[in-house]
Structure 1
Amino acid sequence: MLDTNLLRKDLDRVVRALARRGLAFDTDRYHALEARRKAVQVQTEELQARRNALAKQIGQLKSRGEDASAALAESQAIPDQLKALEQDLGAVQQELSAWLMTLPNLPDDSVPDGASEADNVEVRRWLPGAAGADGNPAGLGFEPRDHVALAEPFGLDFEAARSLVGARFMMLRGPIARLHRALAQFMLDLQTGEHGYQECYTPYIVNGSTLYGTGQLPKFKDDMFWVTKGGQGSTPDDDGPAEDLYLISTAEIPLTGTVRDRIVEARDLPIRLTAHTPCFRSEAGSGGRDLRGLIRQHQFDKVEMVQIVHPDQSWQALDEMVGHAEHVLQALGLPYRVVLLCAGDMGFGSAKTYDLEVWLPAQDTWREISSVSNCLDFQARRLQGRFRPEGPKARPEYLHTLNGSGLAVGRALVAVLENYQQADGSIVIPPVLRPYMGGLEAIRA
């Protein structure tokens, strides 16, 4: 959520930053809300001052033996008036908060201008082999098959999944299922063993409050899968009434949500968390893209990285996390490039995002396989996640949160299938995955 102090002190900066994201900030609405807030606060202060003056006046009248009934009657009416003003102030603050919940994070000054992915800026690329004349990976030496044609003989089954639930789901069997599992296990081992992340097993279902905190709600409600409606089968707990429940669209949600309503000690930072989970997305806004294959599924697996850090360390952590995602791709021997997203193409909660795009020979193009973002204090404000700086009089401050894929398992499977395919249709297993495949060097018919 945007900082209300920044809105009051430097509204022009907020307006300019949101305009870079293609959003026109309604300054008239904001000024109207601020005017109402200030008016209520002035009335409240005047009533409080009047109450104090009446208390003094009543004491003086009584000490002189004079009639204090009029002053006493006026004083007794003030608490109800203050309560009404308090409710008015609460209504204004609630309206402002609900509005701010719909506004995205401000892009960092280092983020390039632009409206779409066409305006993103390539930072670097990594090729394990020779490059072609266009700078992309050289061809395989034969006409490449796409991942669907490659994987169906080895256990990729869309028809079985369609009969169970519908389109955009998959079933994996045999060697393809094992390769999918090997990728996830390898990624987890790398993130925990070499990059210092703590492995977590998280709920796959979260409540609406957590989603508001991490920024999926209210904007992306139609992209979520609802599990149950509050009051219609969900059970209240000790924290309050039942809420709507949702399947997670990324493990970022439960991992980042662990600091909700918490104050972390500065000595415990940074917090590095990772989890392998299924992710569920309705893809309501995908417009029919990538209907064939594994690129855009309603259910897919991902190994997620989350860092929760001191504000002074978040930009360093962003570069570090990009490197952690790159390490996975380099270990797998997959060609990739790093792209800095423009202001108009970033995610809702991000202040700066790098995408990693892997090369897919059959599509002859680069496709996103990881997105790593620094959200600064945007999510922490919504979650009320803070840390206590060292020092006897230090007041709690908001944390900074970062998240990134390390990596999307299904897309990594696609990349391995297409980049390691052979002319006879077999698939060579990347060396780092062979221990997870029982030493198997290739998948053959």
Structure 2
Amino acid sequence: MHDIRLIRENPEAFDAGLARRGAEPLAASLTSLDEARRALTTRQQEVQARRNDLSKQVGQAKAAKDEARAQALMAEVGTLKDELETLTADQAEADEALRTALAAIPNLPAADVPEGKDEDDNQLVHTRGTQPAFAFEPKEHDTFGPALGLDFETGAALAGARFTLVRGHAAKLARALGQFMLDTLTADHGYEEVNPPLLVRDEAVYGTGQLPKFAEDLFRTTDGRWLIPTAEVSLTNIVREQILPAEALPLRFTALTPCFRSEAGAAGRDTRGYIRQHQFDKVEMVSITAPEASEAEHERMTACAEGILDKLGLPFRRMKLCAGDMGFSAARTYDLEVWLPGQARYREISSCSTCTDFQARRMNARYRNADGKPAFVHTLNGSGLAVGRTLVAVLENYQQEDGAVAVPEVLQPYLRGLNRLEPAK
């Protein structure tokens, strides 16, 4: 959510930021809505002040036994009361019109975000790790994964397209990955582990920016709750409607949860394999910081996700997303893309974003600054990592010619020392 005061004071800068996002200028229309709203507020105050003054005069007239004047004043007070009721209704409508308009506008890109329209314009930051050399032609995970427990057919039979039954070795490996990620983030990086609700109310999904614009990308229950598309929703809303003491910051939360997405805007993409699912597990990181700390926190969070990939021995690269490719709430996003030998390409495995105070305004999440005054916090979120995509990356990077998969050393303790996953015969 944007601050209408800042839009009013810097309309050109606001529209320039929207232009970088590929959006039309909106400062003039928003300012017009705000002026109408403020005019109603001014008139309300004038009418209320006049009504209060007349009410005093009524008392004075009655004290002076001037009944005719008292009756005339009371009639005017009644008229003003009716006008005030109308103004109150108009004010609520004007407030809602402005709030609705502001809620549909994405966050503005940070100054260092590259210009561009889509993923082709994203900027390479660095590449890490060594791509494995195979003495055979590496396969995609969906060709040898079924023998290890990726049961695409049964998943589709149970729930339809983009659902997979994960069993046997694949299920154990997925569990090991999730536990390893949580242990790394909590023990090495100080994140607090959380087991959050998977069903949330409208205001929670609104707070992180999925509503109202992206409702079609979500699943909704018959009682009006939403299945979380990411634990970012639950974790970020922990501080909703709060004023935090400055010494409590930063707050760092992590959770391993199922995530649910309708993928309404991804028709025809990644229909094969385990890359794009309606239900998937993900370890999420969320940070709540003071504004002056959010830049460093963004780098720290991204480094935490990179460290997990390093420990797993998976080659990857960091990309800084261009203005046209960022998510709705983000001011800057780093994507980590892991190397998949079967596809011979890098694929996204984590997105780490700083949202500045955009989500905090929607949630009314604040802290007391150095002056002791309430100010909006900054929120950040990132994947640490998407478990399913990491499973795919491990399968493809550690595949053996006979269809087996070597287990990365850091995962072996979670699998009781098992160092090799054998395909079913």
Indicate the TM-score class for this superposition, using the shorter chain for normalisation.
Answer: over 0.9
Q: Are positions 1:383 and 2:363 aligned together?
A: yes
2:405–2:421: 8 Å Cα contact kept in structure 1?
A: yes
Alignment of 1:8-407 (within 5 A): 8-55=8-55, 57-58=57-58, 66=66, 67-69=68-70, 70-127=72-129, 129=130, 137=131, 139-228=133-222, 234=223, 244-389=224-369, 394-407=372-385
Structure 1 range deviating more: 352-361 or 164-173 = 164-173
1:218 Cα shift? 1.0
1:334–1:415: 8 Å Cα contact kept in structure 2?
A: yes
2:11–2:28: 8 Å Cα contact kept in structure 1?
A: no
Give me the whole-angstrom Cα distance separating, in 1, the residues matched to 2:329 and 2:213.
11
Give the ranges of 4+ consecutive aligned residues of structure 1 lying more than 6 Å apart after TM superposition.
none
1:275 Cα shift? 0.4
Q: Are positions 1:430 and 2:424 aligned together?
A: no
Aligned to 1:68, the other structure's residue is in SS state helix
Aligned to 1:194, the other structure's residue is in SS state helix
1:139–1:361: 8 Å Cα contact kept in structure 2?
A: no
Structure 1 range deviating more: 199-208 or 56-65 = 56-65
Residues matched between the structures, number: 421
After superposition, what is the alpha-carbon deviation per residue over 1:341-391, rounded to whole angstroms, capped at 9, x for unaligned? 000000000010000000011111110000000001111111111112356
1:340 Cα shift? 0.3
Matching residue's letter, 2:198: Y
Give me the whole-angstrom Cα distance separating, in 2, the residues matched to 1:58 and 1:300.
69
Give me the whole-angstrom Cα distance separating, in 1, the residues matched to 2:63 and 2:161.
84
1:141 Cα shift? 3.0
Aligned to 1:169, the other structure's residue is in SS state coil
2:7–2:31: 8 Å Cα contact kept in structure 1?
A: no
Matching residue's letter, 2:149: G
The TM-score with structure 2 as length reference comes to 0.95
Give me the whole-angstrom Cα distance separating, in 2, the residues matched to 1:318 and 1:28.
33
1:77 Cα shift? 2.9
Give me the whole-angstrom Cα distance separating, in 1, the residues matched to 2:392 and 2:156.
20
User: Percent same amino acid at aligned positions?
Assistant: 50
1:51 Cα shift? 3.0
2:341–2:397: 8 Å Cα contact kept in structure 1?
A: yes
Aligned to 2:256, the other structure's residue is in SS state strand
Structure 1 range deviating more: 19-28 or 282-291 = 19-28
The aligned residue for residue 443 of structure 1 is 421
The TM-score with structure 1 as length reference comes to 0.91
1:311 Cα shift? 1.2
Give me the whole-angstrom Cα distance separating, in 2, the residues matched to 1:193 and 1:345.
33
Structure 2 regions of 5+ residues with no counterpart?
Answer: none
Give me the whole-angstrom Cα distance separating, in 2, the residues matched to 1:395 and 1:300.
41
Aligned to 2:189, the other structure's residue is in SS state coil
Give me the whole-angstrom Cα distance separating, in 2, the residues matched to 1:301 and 1:437.
19
Give me the whole-angstrom Cα distance separating, in 2, the residues matched to 1:55 and 1:156.
77
1:144–1:418: 8 Å Cα contact kept in structure 2?
A: yes
Give me the whole-angstrom Cα distance separating, in 2, the residues matched to 1:355 and 1:111.
13
Matching residue's letter, 1:386: R
Structure 1 range deviating more: 34-43 or 395-404 = 34-43
